[in-house]
A and B are shown apart, each in its own frame.
With several copies, the nearest count.
Chain A
């Protein structure tokens, strides 16, 4: 499975992207977040510490997800971006659109109690 989701004690929904986030599987990520929203989850971390690469469709999916989460009054943070992955966000200026933490733990911790 390319995505594994866990809900932490503080009620934050953490999704880890294993492998690639690309045109062939981004829909699965969108569906996973939508289902969680439908189950009243509102705090999301998408973690990339085990991700190889992301293509423009993957970046686009993150943009859509971020919008959806905001529209439903939720919050989204990204975490675990290595130098290579981070460069994709910087090139596309998406680093200005997303809240980004170093690690999933920090991302979880940064949600207001």
Chain B
């Protein structure tokens, strides 16, 4: 779904033929408004600029799409509370066989260790609580900053 009015957005892409100072071949940064209608486009932009060609297998691309959509949704809804005066910052890097996507919001953060696992039989019919669980199972590594308003996801090419 595309937003009826194109949302405001800042996108910077830096692509190199040889690794840059941080080892990155591709660096993408995006400043996204706190509007869930942007998520699909942002996921598409990231995939297009980071995973062009056959670099990642189909399943990895799928997993990255879902994990990125989740992280954006959490940043926009749980983090920034859909406050349009706040932004979500996305940084993505392709380094060697890894792709790293970092999503940072302007909210208070949270304690990811306190989030329960959502797959107990009694919880199966709860409508939420599956986002972080999905992310952790779809990418190879997930880290948060101390405050909890920034998540960094790493996926390795296989």
Which A residues are closer than 8 A to B by beta carbons? 2, 19-20, 22-25, 52-57, 59-61, 63-64, 66-67, 83-84, 87-88, 91-94, 96-97
Contacts and interface: CB of A to CB of B under 8 A. Distances in A.
Interface of B: 1, 36-37, 39-40, 58-59, 62, 65-66, 69-70, 73, 77, 118-119, 121, 124-131, 133-134, 137-138
A102 B127 CA distance: 24
B5 to A, nearest CB: 14
Given A64-B127, A83-B59, 8 more contacts: A20-B40, A22-B69, A53-B65, A55-B73, A57-B131, A63-B126, A66-B125, A84-B59
Contact of B130 (A19, A24, A52, A60): A60
B39 A22 contact: yes
A91 B59 contact: no
A56 B134 contact: yes
B70 A67 contact: no
B127 A63 contact: yes
Contacts of B133: 56, 91-92
Given A53-B66, A55-B66, A55-B69, A94 B1 contact: no
8 contacts: A22-B39, A23-B39, A23-B73, A24-B39, A55-B70, A66-B125, A83-B59, A84-B58
A59 B130 contact: yes
Contact of B1 (A24, A56, A96): A24
A93 B123 CA distance: 10
A53 B73 contact: no
A57 B134 contact: no
A97 B124 contact: yes
A91 B134 contact: yes
B1 A60 contact: no
B130 A56 contact: yes
Contacts of A20: 1, 40, 69
A66 B124 CA distance: 12
Given A23-B36, A24-B40, A55-B69, A84 B62 contact: yes
Contacts of A93: 119, 121, 124
A94 B125 CA distance: 9
A56 B70 contact: yes
B128 A56 contact: yes
A94 B130 CA distance: 11
B7 to A, nearest CB: 11
Contact of A22 (B40, B58, B130, B138): B40
Between A55, A57, A94, the greatest number of chain B beta carbons within 10 A of the residue's beta carbon is seen for A55
